[in-house]
C-alpha cells in the first residue's frame, strides 16, 4: 500500500495515490555492494591538499564547469597513495588528476574548478578525474569502492549534476576511462574495468563491474540527498551539523522488502533526525527480498522523502526499525 493510501485508510480522507520507484536493478546483484551495505562501510572525508603547482586551465568554452566525473585506477599494484601523489606532482606536464582514493583516504590535490590532464582531449576539458590506488584485501577493496562512489556522488552534487551512466550512450555524467576511450577518443585506456574484475573475483568470487559501481554511486547520491544536506556541502562533517525536520503520522499497514533493500540500512530513528541515531546491518535480522514488514509510523522529511518504522512480526515487543522509502515495496 502506498503512503497516501495508508494515510487515507487512517484518516478517512480521499487522496490520489503517489507511485514510488526504487533503484533499477539492471546491473544485477553485486556481492561487493552487498558487503558494503551489510557491514556498514562508510566513506572517508574529502581531504583538501591542493598543490599550487598545477596549471589552472578553464573547462570547455560555453560550459565553464565540469560536466561529470572520470574514474581511473593507477594500474600499479605496488604503489601507495602518497607515492602516486608525489610522482604526479613531479610529472604533471605529462598527466595529472584532481584526486586520489584508497581504502581510507580521499585526497584532493588539484582544484576541481579547473581541468586536469588525465584522459586526453576532449575529456580533459569536461570532467573531474580521480585515481584509485590498488589495494590488496577484501575489506580494503570494499572500502575503496565506497570511497570512490562517495567522491563521485560528492562531485556531482557540488556542481549541480545528476547521476547518469555514460556507458550506454556516451552522454552521461559518470565515466570510466574505458568509456572515454570508446565514446570520446583521445586515449586508449580501459581502466578501471580490469582492476574491478580481478579484485572482485579474488576477494568476492565474481567480477565487479563498472555498471555495479554506478549503482553504488546512484545509491550513495540518493542517500546523501535524503539526509537533507545543503547543495554543494555533502561532506561527512557538514551533513551532520544540523538535524533534519521530520513530520510524523501514525500508520497501520504492511509492505515488503524491495528489490534493492540491501542498498539501504536499518536505523533506530529516522536518519539525521537527532543525535544518537544508530544503523544496523540487514544480516543482523536474517531477512530477504520480499519479506513482509509491518508499518506503524511514517516520517516525512522537509525534503519530501519518507521513512517508515517497521517490525518483522506482530509479536508484542518486536524490535522496531526505521528504513528509507526506497528499501520497501509499498505496493504490497
Domain CATH number, residue 219: 3.40.80.10
Task: Give a yes or no: residue 236 inside a domain.
Answer: no
Beta bridge partners of 48: 108
What's residue 24's pLDDT? 34
Asked if residue 258 and residue 210 are part of one domain, the reply reads no
Least Cα distance to 324 among 332, 304, 316 occurs for 304
In a domain, 110, yes or no: yes
- Rounded mean pLDDT, 225-233: 50
Residues 105 and 216 in one domain: yes
Q: Please tell me the predicted confidence (pLDDT) of residue 227.
A: 59
d(CA 121, CA 126): 9
Residues 276 and 219 in one domain: no
Q: Over the stretch 159-177, which tens digit does the pLDDT of each residue have?
A: 999 999 999 899 999 999 9
Q: pLDDT tens, 59-113?
A: 999 899 999 999 999 999 999 999 999 999 999 999 999 999 999 999 999 999 9
Residues 173 and 148 in one domain: yes
Chosen domain end from 226, 259, 294: 226
pLDDT in tens, 257-300: 999 999 899 999 999 888 778 889 898 898 999 999 999 999 99
Sign of CA dihedral 324, 270, 40, 142: positive
Q: Find out whether 179 and 170 touch, Cβ atoms under 8 Å.
A: yes
Are residues 221 and 249 both part of a single domain? no
Q: Please, what is the average pLDDT of the chain? A: 86
Q: To the nearest whole percent, how much of the chain has pLDDT over 70?
A: 86
Look at residues 82, 113, 109, 81 and name the one whose alpha carbon lies nearest to residue 97: 109
The pLDDT value given to residue 37: 87
- Can you give the residue range of the structural domain that contains 269? 3-21+243-329
E strand or H helix that includes residue 251: strand 246-257
Check which CATH number belongs to the domain holding 260 and give it: 2.30.30.170
CA distance 296 to 261: 19
Same domain flag for 47 and 192:
yes
Distance CA 215, CA 28 (A): 9
Please give the tally of structural domains in the chain. Answer: 2
pTM above 0.85, yes or no: no
Which pairing describes strands 99-101 and 68-73: parallel, antiparallel, or unpaired? Answer: unpaired
Extract the C-alpha cell encoding 234: 555533502
Among residues 103, 42, 1, the alpha carbon closest in space to that of 240 is found at: 42
CB 293 within 8 A of CB 313: no
Q: Is residue 231 part of a domain?
A: no
- End of a domain among 197, 226, 255? 226
Cα separation of the two ends of the chain? 6
Amino acid at each position: 500500500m502506498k503512503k497516501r493510501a495508508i494515510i487515507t485508510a487512517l484518516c478517512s480522507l480521499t487522496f490520489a495515490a503517489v507511485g514510488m520507484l526504487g533503484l533499477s536493478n539492471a546491473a544485477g546483484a553485486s556481492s561487493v555492494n552487498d558487503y558494503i551495505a551489510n557491514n556498514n562501510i562508510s566513506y572517508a572525508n574529502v581531504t583538501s591538499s591542493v598543490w599550487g603547482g598545477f596549471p589552472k586551465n578553464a573547462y570547455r568554452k560555453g560550459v565553464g564547469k565540469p560536466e561529470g566525473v572520470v574514474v581511473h585506477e593507477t594500474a600499479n599494484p605496488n604503489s601507495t597513495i602518497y607515492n602516486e601523489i608525489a610522482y604526479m606532482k613531479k610529472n604533471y606536464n605529462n598527466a595529472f588528476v584532481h584526486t586520489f582514493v584508497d581504502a581510507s583516504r580521499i585526497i584532493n590535490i588539484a582544484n576541481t574548478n579547473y581541468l586536469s590532464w588525465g584522459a586526453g582531449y576532449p575529456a580533459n576539458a569536461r570532467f573531474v578525474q580521480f585515481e584509485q590506488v590498488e589495494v590488496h584485501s577484501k575489506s580494503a577493496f570494499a572500502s575503496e569502492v565506497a570511497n570512490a562512489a562517495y567522491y563521485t556522488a560528492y562531485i556531482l552534487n557540488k556542481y549541480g549534476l545528476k547521476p547518469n551512466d555514460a556507458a550506454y550512450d556516451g552522454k552521461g555524467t559518470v565515466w570510466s576511462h574505458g568509456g572515454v576511450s570508446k565514446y570520446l577518443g583521445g586515449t586508449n585506456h580501459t581502466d578501471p574495468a580490469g582492476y574491478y574484475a580481478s579484485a572482485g573475483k579474488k576477494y568476492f568470487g565474481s567480477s565487479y563491474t563498472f555498471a555495479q559501481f554506478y549503482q553504488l554511486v546512484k545509491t550513495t547520491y540518493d542517500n546523501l540527498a535524503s539526509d537533507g544536506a545543503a547543495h554543494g556541502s555533502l561532506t561527512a562533517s557538514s551533513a551532520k551539523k544540523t538535524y533534519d525536520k521530520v513530520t510524523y503520522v501514525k500508520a497501520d499497514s504492511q509492505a515488503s522488502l524491495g528489490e534493492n533493500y540491501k542498498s539501504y540500512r536499518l536505523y533506530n530513528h529516522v536518519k539525521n533526525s537527532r543525535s544518537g541515531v544508530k544503523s544496523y546491518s540487514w544480516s543482523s535480522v536474517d531477512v530477504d527480498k520480499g519479506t513482509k514488514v509491518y508499518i506503524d509510523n511514517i516520517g516525512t522529511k522537509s525534503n519530501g522523502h519518507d521513512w517508515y518504522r517497521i517490525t518483522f512480526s506482530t509479536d508484542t515487543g518486536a524490535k522496531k526499525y526505521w528504513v528509507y522509502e526506497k528499501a520497501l515495496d509499498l505496493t504490497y
